[in-house]
C-alpha cells in the first residue's frame, strides 16, 4: 500500500505496499459550538492559531504495487451532527455521505468514466431507453407494479448498486473519513439560533430566554437537514479527492506502535508549577456535570439545565442522590463541576462509566497517529499533538484519531473545564483529564523513541454477557387478507412523469426490518430501464437521496408499511425508472422469509 500527505511527506514500503500522506484545509465545514469556553484558554496560546477550530485534513493514500490505489483514510475534525435529534432515520451523517461520495468517485474514475471530482451515479453511466417523452411514457406504462414474491436473501445483496458495479478482478476501494479532535466542533456552520425568535442564542449558555430547548445550530442547508448533511459531506469529499489526486510523496521508515490500558480514575499526574518545581495531582472517578444534561446546540437537552452551570440545582441534586450521593472527596476532586450523575461510583447492574481505558500510538514513518478513546476539544487536541511531537527527534506529523477503541465522553483543557459547558461537564475524570492523557501519551512516544516496551496495564472487564436490552424481539409479521409481503400499497400515479428535484413516494406492505438488517444489501432500490426489458440498479439506501421509512398502522399491529422516498438528484439521467423494496418477514414459528416487490414504472425527464 501507499499513503500520502502534503507540506512535507514521505513513504514507507512493506513488501509490495507503500503509503504517502497529504494535508489541506477545509475552511467552512466546522465552527466552534462552545466559543465562550475556548476563549477561556490563555490569550497567548490562542494567538498562535488563526481559527478556533482545526481546519486541517490529513489524508493517507494506500497504493498497491500491483493494483495501484486501493484506499484512503483521512482525519478531519467536525461532528457527525448535521442530522439533529429530530431525524428518526439511521444515517451515516456527513462522514458517511463523504465516504460514499469518495468511493463512488474512485470506482467511476478508475473505470475511466469520469475525469473530475463530481461523482455521478450509475444512471448517468448506463444508457437508458432512447426516445421522446411520449415513447418513454408508453414504455413505462407497460411495466405495472409487481406482486410481492419470495426471494433468497442474496438477491438484495446482488442488486445493490455498488455490488453490481464492483470489478471482480481487483480489490475494492475503501475510503474512511475518520474523526479527530472534534469535541467542540459543529458542522452547523450558520451558527446557533433561537427557534422562537430567530435571534442568536445566548453566547455563554446557549439558551433562549433561559431555556436550552429552543437553541439549535443551523447547517448550511437550513432548514433541510438532509441538504446540510450532503453539503458538509461533499466539502469533506472534495478536499479528500483533491488531496488524493495530489498526494505523491511517500512515508519512509519503520512501522511501530505502543498500546496500554490505564485506570483513569486514580492516575497521578505531575504538573510543573509557576515559578519552578512541580506538583502532583490526580484524576477522579467518572462523573457527569449539570451542563451535560443541557446538551449542545447540535442537540439541546430538556428541563431547566443549561450549559455553563457551575452550581447545580437543589431539585436535581435530590433526584441525583436517589441514585448515588457523591462523596465529599469526589465533589472536591471534580471541582468546579457540580455533579449530576456520579457514574464512576455507580456499579449496578454494572459500571455506569468506564474506568480502564486504552491508549495507543502508531508510528508510520514520519507520521504519528494517536488513538484516543474520547472527544478532545480543539485546544485539548492541539496541546496533546504538540506534547507528542516534542518527544520525537525527527520532524513528525501527528494526527489524533478520535473516538477509538472505546468511548469515554469528552476531554477539555483545564481552562475550558472551568467554564462547565457541555464538553467540560462531560469530561469524566476531572479537571486534570487532559494532563493525564498528555503524560501517558508522552510515555508511549518516549517508549517508541527509545525502543522500550510498555506495561499492558489492567484488563477492562468483559461485560458482553451482562448487557441489558429493553427492546422486545419481533413476534410475528402479517399482511391483510389477500395481500403479500412486498405488494405495493400506494403506487405512483398512472403515466407519471417527474422532474429532477421532485420526490417520488411509494408505499409497500412490509415487515419489521429487524428481521434482517440487510447489512450487505439494501432495503430500497431505484432501478433504471436499460434497453426494452433490463432493469439496472441506479440508487440504493447508501444514497442520501433515497429514504426508507418503516412504520406500523398501530402500535400493537403485526402489519407494517415501508415508505420509500426518492428525491431525484439533478444529476439523474432521463429515462424510465421504478422503485423496488426488499425485506424479510417472520412467521409464528419464528422462520424468516425474504421478499421483494416493485412499483409501476415512471419517467424522469
Q: Give every CB contact of residue 482 below 8 A, 6+ residues apart in sequence.
A: none
Is 186 marked active-site?
A: yes
Q: Is 234 assigned a ligand-binding role in the annotation?
A: no
Which listed residue (72, 186, 510, 600) is catalytic?
186
Identify whether the C-beta of residue 489 lies closer than 8 Å to the C-beta of residue 551: no
Q: Give every CB contact of residue 419 below 8 A, 6+ residues apart in sequence.
A: 34, 36, 37, 40, 308
Alpha-carbon distances of 486 from 508, 585, 604, rounded to whole Å? 6, 10, 24
**Residues facing 368 on adjacent strands:** 363, 398
The grid cell for 166 is 464492483
The grid cell for 258 is 505502543
The grid cell for 85 is 435529534
Q: Give every CB contact of residue 328 below 8 A, 6+ residues apart in sequence.
A: none
The grid cell for 72 is 484512503
Identify the three-state secondary structure at position 433. helix
Burial group, residue 478, by CB count within 10 angstroms (0-12, 13-18, 19+): middle
The grid cell for 137 is 411514457
Helix, strand, coil abundance in the chain, percent, nearest 5: 25, 30, 50
φ, ψ dihedrals at 301, nearest 5°: -85, -150
Q: Is 51 assigned a ligand-binding role in the annotation?
A: no
Please enumerate, as own/partner, the contacts of 540-547 that have beta carbons within 8 Å and a separation of 24 or more.
540/159, 540/160, 540/161, 540/162, 542/100, 542/160, 542/161, 542/162, 543/100, 543/121, 543/161, 544/97, 544/100, 544/226, 544/229, 544/230, 544/233, 545/569, 547/89
In which residue are the cell numbers 447489512 written?
519
What is the full DSSP assignment across 325-351?
Answer: PPPHHHHHHHTTPPEEE-GGG--SSS-
Q: Is 410 assigned a ligand-binding role in the annotation?
A: yes
Q: Give every CB contact of residue 135 below 8 A, 6+ residues apart in sequence.
A: none
The separation between CA 142 and the C-alpha centre of its own chain, rounded to angstroms, equals 42
- Residues designated catalytic: 186
Could you tell me which residues are annotated as the binding site? 79, 375, 410
Could you tell me which residues are annotated as the binding site for Zn(2+)? 79, 375, 410
Amino acid at each position: 500500500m501507499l499513503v500520502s500527505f502534503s507540506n512535507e511527506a514521505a513513504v514507507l514500503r512493506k513488501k509490495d505496499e507503500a503509503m504517502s500522506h497529504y494535508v489541506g484545509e477545509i475552511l467552512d465545514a466546522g465552527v466552534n459550538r462552545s466559543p465562550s469556553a475556548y476563549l477561556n484558554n490563555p490569550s497567548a496560546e490562542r494567538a498562535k492559531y488563526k481559527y478556533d477550530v482545526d481546519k486541517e485534513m490529513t489524508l493517507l493514500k494506500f497504493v498497491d504495487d500491483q493494483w495501484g490505489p486501493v484506499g484512503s483514510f483521512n482525519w478531519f475534525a467536525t461532528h457527525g451532527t448535521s442530522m439533529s435529534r429530530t431525524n428518526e432515520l439511521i444515517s451515516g451523517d456527513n462522514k458517511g455521505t463523504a465516504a460514499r461520495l469518495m468511493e463512488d468517485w474512485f470506482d467511476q474514475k478508475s473505470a475511466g468514466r469520469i475525469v473530475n471530482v463530481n461523482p455521478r451515479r450509475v444512471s448517468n453511466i448506463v444508457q437508458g431507453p432512447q426516445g421522446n417523452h411520449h415513447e418513454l411514457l408508453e414504455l413505462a406504462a407497460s411495466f405495472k407494479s409487481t406482486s410481492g414474491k419470495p426471494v433468497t436473501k442474496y438477491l438484495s445483496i446482488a442488486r445493490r448498486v455498488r455490488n453490481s458495479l464492483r470489478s471482480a478482478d481487483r480489490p475494492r476501494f475503501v475510503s474512511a473519513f475518520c474523526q479527530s479532535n472534534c469535541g467542540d466542533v459543529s458542522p452547523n456552520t450558520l451558527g446557533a439560533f433561537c427557534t422562537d425568535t430567530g435571534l442568536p442564542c445566548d453566547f455563554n449558555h446557549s439558551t433562549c430566554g433561559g431555556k436550552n430547548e429552543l437553541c439549535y445550530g443551523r447547517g448550511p442547508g437550513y432548514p433541510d437537514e438532509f441538504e446540510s448533511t450532503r453539503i458538509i459531506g461533499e466539502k469533506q469529499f472534495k478536499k479528500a479527492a483533491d488531496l488524493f489526486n495530489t498526494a505523491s510523496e511517500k512515508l519512509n521508515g519503520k512501522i511501530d506502535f505502543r498500546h496500554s490500558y490505564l485506570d483513569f480514575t486514580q492516575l497521578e499526574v505531575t504538573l510543573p508549577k509557576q515559578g519552578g518545581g512541580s506538583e502532583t495531582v490526580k484524576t477522579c472517578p467518572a462523573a457527569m456535570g449539570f451542563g451535560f444534561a443541557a446538551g449542545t446546540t447540535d442537540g439541546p437537552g430538556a428541563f431547566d439545565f443549561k450549559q455553563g452551570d457551575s452550581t447545580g440545582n437543589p431539585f436535581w441534586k435530590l433526584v441525583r442522590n436517589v441514585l448515588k450521593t457523591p462523596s465529599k472527596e469526589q465533589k472536591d476532586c471534580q471541582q468546579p463541576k457540580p455533579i449530576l450523575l456520579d457514574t464512576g461510583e455507580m456499579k449496578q447492574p454494572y459500571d455506569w462509566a468506564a474506568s480502564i481505558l486504552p491508549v495507543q500510538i502508531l508510528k508510520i514513518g514520519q507520521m504519528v497517529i494517536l488513538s484516543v478513546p474520547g472527544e478532545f476539544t480543539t485546544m485539548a487536541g492541539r496541546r496533546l499533538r504538540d506534547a507528542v511531537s516534542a518527544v520525537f527527534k525527527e520532524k513528525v506529523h501527528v494526527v489524533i484519531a478520535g473516538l477509538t477503541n472505546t468511548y469515554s465522553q469528552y476531554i477539555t483543557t483545564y481552562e475550558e473545564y472551568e467554564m462547565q459547558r457541555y464538553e467540560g461537564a462531560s469530561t469524566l475524570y476531572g479537571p486534570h483529564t487532559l494532563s493525564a492523557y498528555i503524560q501517558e501519551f508522552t510515555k508511549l512516544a518516549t517508549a517508541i523513541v527509545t525502543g522500550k516496551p510498555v506495561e499492558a496495564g489492567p484488563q477492562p472487564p468483559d461485560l458482553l454477557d451482562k448487557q441489558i436490552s429493553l427492546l422486545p424481539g419481533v413476534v410475528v409479521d402479517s399482511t391483510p387478507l389477500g395481500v403479500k409481503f412486498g405488494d405495493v400499497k400506494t403506487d405512483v400515479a398512472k403515466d407519471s412523469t417527474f422532474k429532477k428535484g421532485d420526490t417520488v413516494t411509494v408505499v409497500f406492505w412490509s415487515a419489521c426490518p429487524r428481521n434482517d438488517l440487510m447489512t450487505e444489501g439494501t432495503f430500497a432500490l431505484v432501478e433504471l430501464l436499460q434497453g426494452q426489458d433490463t432493469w439496472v440498479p441506479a440508487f440504493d439506501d447508501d444514497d442520501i437521496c433515497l429514504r426508507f421509512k418503516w412504520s406500523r398502522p398501530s402500535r400493537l399491529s403485526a402489519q407494517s408499511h415501508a415508505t420509500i422516498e426518492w428525491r431525484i438528484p439533478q444529476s439523474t439521467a432521463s429515462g424510465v425508472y421504478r422503485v423496488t423494496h426488499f425485506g424479510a418477514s417472520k412467521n409464528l414459528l419464528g422462520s424468516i422469509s425474504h421478499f421483494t416487490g416493485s412499483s409501476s414504472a415512471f419517467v424522469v425527464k
